[in-house]
Amino acid sequence: MILVDEPRWPGRGHLWSHLVSDVSLAELHAFAEMLGSPRRAFDRDHYDIPAHRFRTALWLGATLVPSRELTARLRAAGLRRPKHLTR
Protein backbone atom coordinates (compact mmCIF):
# COMPACT_ATOMS: atom_id res chain seq x y z
CA MET A 1 0.00 0.00 0.00
CA ILE A 2 1.25 3.50 -0.82
CA LEU A 3 1.15 5.93 2.09
CA VAL A 4 1.60 9.70 2.21
CA ASP A 5 1.66 12.23 5.02
CA GLU A 6 0.47 15.85 4.96
CA PRO A 7 2.78 18.36 3.24
CA ARG A 8 4.18 20.10 6.29
CA TRP A 9 7.94 19.61 6.00
CA PRO A 10 9.63 22.87 4.87
CA GLY A 11 12.56 22.94 2.48
CA ARG A 12 13.79 24.93 -0.52
CA GLY A 13 10.85 27.32 -0.29
CA HIS A 14 8.18 24.58 -0.41
CA LEU A 15 6.28 22.24 1.88
CA TRP A 16 6.91 18.53 1.34
CA SER A 17 5.22 15.20 2.01
CA HIS A 18 6.75 11.77 2.40
CA LEU A 19 5.60 9.00 0.08
CA VAL A 20 6.30 5.38 1.10
CA SER A 21 5.20 1.82 0.44
CA ASP A 22 4.59 -0.72 3.17
CA VAL A 23 4.89 -3.50 0.55
CA SER A 24 8.06 -2.95 -1.51
CA LEU A 25 10.39 -0.37 -2.97
CA ALA A 26 9.38 -1.61 -6.43
CA GLU A 27 5.78 -0.60 -5.68
CA LEU A 28 6.99 2.77 -4.40
CA HIS A 29 9.12 3.49 -7.49
CA ALA A 30 6.27 2.51 -9.84
CA PHE A 31 3.83 4.82 -8.01
CA ALA A 32 6.33 7.69 -7.95
CA GLU A 33 6.80 7.32 -11.70
CA MET A 34 3.02 7.52 -12.24
CA LEU A 35 3.00 10.61 -10.02
CA GLY A 36 5.75 12.21 -12.08
CA SER A 37 8.28 12.34 -9.25
CA PRO A 38 11.89 12.20 -10.44
CA ARG A 39 14.12 9.43 -9.10
CA ARG A 40 16.32 12.10 -7.46
CA ALA A 41 13.39 12.72 -5.05
CA PHE A 42 13.98 9.23 -3.57
CA ASP A 43 15.78 9.29 -0.22
CA ARG A 44 16.73 5.84 1.19
CA ASP A 45 13.17 4.56 1.78
CA HIS A 46 10.79 7.33 0.71
CA TYR A 47 10.13 10.00 -1.87
CA ASP A 48 9.90 13.65 -0.91
CA ILE A 49 7.00 15.09 -2.88
CA PRO A 50 6.13 18.80 -3.06
CA ALA A 51 2.76 20.01 -1.82
CA HIS A 52 1.52 20.60 -5.38
CA ARG A 53 1.71 16.80 -6.04
CA PHE A 54 -0.01 15.82 -2.78
CA ARG A 55 -3.62 15.83 -4.07
CA THR A 56 -2.55 13.92 -7.18
CA ALA A 57 -0.95 11.26 -4.99
CA LEU A 58 -4.26 10.85 -3.16
CA TRP A 59 -6.17 10.76 -6.45
CA LEU A 60 -3.84 8.00 -7.71
CA GLY A 61 -4.64 5.95 -4.60
CA ALA A 62 -2.15 6.86 -1.89
CA THR A 63 -3.55 6.59 1.64
CA LEU A 64 -3.19 9.63 3.88
CA VAL A 65 -1.74 8.74 7.29
CA PRO A 66 -0.10 10.73 10.10
CA SER A 67 3.69 10.94 9.89
CA ARG A 68 4.19 8.70 12.92
CA GLU A 69 2.01 5.98 11.42
CA LEU A 70 3.85 6.27 8.11
CA THR A 71 7.16 5.62 9.87
CA ALA A 72 5.73 2.81 12.00
CA ARG A 73 4.29 1.05 8.93
CA LEU A 74 7.59 1.42 7.09
CA ARG A 75 9.43 -0.16 10.04
CA ALA A 76 6.87 -2.97 10.41
CA ALA A 77 7.32 -3.81 6.72
CA GLY A 78 11.11 -3.99 7.17
CA LEU A 79 11.64 -1.22 4.63
CA ARG A 80 12.93 1.54 6.94
CA ARG A 81 16.50 2.58 6.09
CA PRO A 82 17.87 4.95 8.75
CA LYS A 83 20.54 7.50 7.78
CA HIS A 84 23.29 5.59 9.58
CA LEU A 85 22.74 2.59 7.24
CA THR A 86 22.92 4.50 3.95
CA ARG A 87 26.48 3.63 3.03
pLDDT at position 85 over 70: no
Q: What pLDDT sits at residue 22? A: 94
Give the pLDDT score at 62. 98
Q: Is residue 17 within 8 Å of residue 6, measured between CB atoms?
A: yes
Q: What is the pLDDT of residue 35?
A: 97
pLDDT at 60: 98
Per-residue pLDDT reduced to its tens digit, 14-61: 999 999 999 999 999 999 999 999 999 998 899 999 999 999 999 999
Give the torsion sign (CA, 69, 57, 16, 40). positive
pLDDT above 70: residue 86: no
Q: Are 77 and 22 in contact (CB under 8 A)?
A: yes
